[in-house]
């Protein structure tokens, strides 16, 4: 999945490559994909996109927001796959689910793997879009303080039995831009088992979790995202996850215990049964 560090990396690269370009034509791609979610039909995409100029591009949580002047914005997010820039048509992938063809004959394509949202909204709708806006502060914002995070965790009651994994990556209070990918390393660093009940986590553990979120995001952003994902130029990011499918069955780097895998809440969880209580 494209999580916050990948979003920021790609948004920065898009500002460099396509900001100021005018769209000659655009479409919903050449391939049907059941889990590509659009908010408009193909005709509307083909009608709205031509003649628009790419304005500022920003990253917010799991979303890349591209202003299309005048009056619109393209929202890409909650997505697995690739967002690629092409100097010419030779590198365009076989299957894609959005194409922008610019007047200088360069291109942007989006190819979804798994699922993803591609939306064109009016500018006035961006701030209230039900997918692209979050109720929780971004973990990299200045206002995401320990007190704020502590209060958020304490808002869960014991009877809810909500697990830490559920809290972090699902529901209205999920951590913006953090998905199942970075979650593995965050919980490993915080020494918390993915199934632990949120309301039963101690203050010391909340502190550790807060630090783990900050550290993991900072490191991954500096390294341009995960090495399992591609940037705008089809290059891998520089962040290697501590726990992933390749580390299952291998010794924990802290204590040597074998890393385990469980299927939990619609995705794999990897953990050290000794370090993560």
Q: Does 151 bind Zn ion (CB under 5 A)?
A: no
Closest CA to 65 of 55, 56, 75: 75
Cβ-based neighbour number of residue 193 at 10 Å: 17
- Quick one: which segment of 64-72, 192-200, 225-233, 253-261 binds Zn ion (CB under 5 A)? 253-261
CB of 63 to Zn ion, least distance (A): 34
Give me the sign of the Cα torsion angle 146, 149, 155, 159.
negative
Q: Does 46 bind Zn ion (CB under 5 A)?
A: no
Q: Of these, 203, 250, 274, 277, which contacts Zn ion (CB under 5 A)?
A: 274
Name every residue whose Cβ is closer than 8 Å to that of residue 181 and which is 6 or more positions away in sequence: 1, 3, 226, 228, 241, 244
Toward Zn ion, which CB reaches closer, 183 or 232?
Answer: 183
Between strands 116-122 and 36-38, the pairing is: parallel
CB of 191 to Zn ion, least distance (A): 9
Q: Of these, 3, 252, 270, 271, which contacts Zn ion (CB under 5 A)?
A: 252
Angle between helix axes 180-190 and 203-222 (nearest 10 degrees) is: 130
Q: Does 275 bind Zn ion (CB under 5 A)?
A: yes
Toward Zn ion, which CB reaches closer, 42 or 255?
Answer: 255
Q: Does 219 bind Zn ion (CB under 5 A)?
A: no
Cα 49 from Cα 40, distance rounded (Å): 12
CB of 246 to Zn ion, least distance (A): 16
Q: Does 254 bind Zn ion (CB under 5 A)?
A: yes
Q: Does 242 bind Zn ion (CB under 5 A)?
A: no
Closest CA to 84 of 228, 230, 223, 221: 230
List interacting residues with Zn ion (CB under 5 A): 252, 254-255, 257, 272, 274-275
């Amino acid at each position: 999945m494209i999580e916050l560090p990948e979003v920021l990396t790609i948004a920065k690269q898009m500002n460099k490559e396509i900001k100021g370009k005018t769209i000659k034509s655009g479409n919903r791609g050449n391939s049907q994909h059941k889990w590509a979610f659009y908010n408009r039909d193909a005709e509307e995409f083909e009608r709205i996109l031509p003649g628009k100029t790419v304005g500022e591009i920003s990253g917010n949580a799991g979303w890349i927001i591209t202003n299309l002047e005048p009056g619109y914005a393209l929202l890409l997010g909650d997505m697995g796959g690739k967002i690629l820039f092409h100097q010419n048509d030779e590198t365009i992938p076989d299957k894609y689910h959005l194409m922008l063809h610019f007047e200088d004959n360069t291109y942007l394509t989006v190819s979804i793997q798994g699922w993803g949202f591609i939306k064109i909204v009016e500018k006035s709708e961006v701030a209230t879009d039900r997918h692209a806006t979050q109720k929780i502060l971004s973990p990299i914002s200045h206002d995401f303080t320990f007190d704020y995070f502590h209060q958020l965790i304490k808002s869960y009651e014991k009877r809810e039995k909500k697990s830490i994994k559920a809290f972090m990556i699902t529901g209205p209070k999920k951590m913006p831009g953090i998905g199942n990918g970075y979650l593995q390393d965050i919980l490993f660093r915080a020494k918390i088992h993915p199934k632990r009940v949120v309301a039963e986590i101690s203050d010391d553990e909340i502190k550790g979790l807060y630090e783990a979120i900050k550290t993991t995001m900072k490191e991954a952003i500096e390294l341009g995202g995960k090495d399992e994902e591609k940037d705008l130029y089809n290059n891998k990011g520089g962040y290697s996850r501590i726990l992933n499918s390749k580390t299952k069955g291998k010794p924990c780097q802290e204590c040597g215990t074998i890393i385990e895998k469980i299927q939990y809440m619609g995705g794999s969880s990897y953990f050290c049964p000794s370090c993560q209580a």
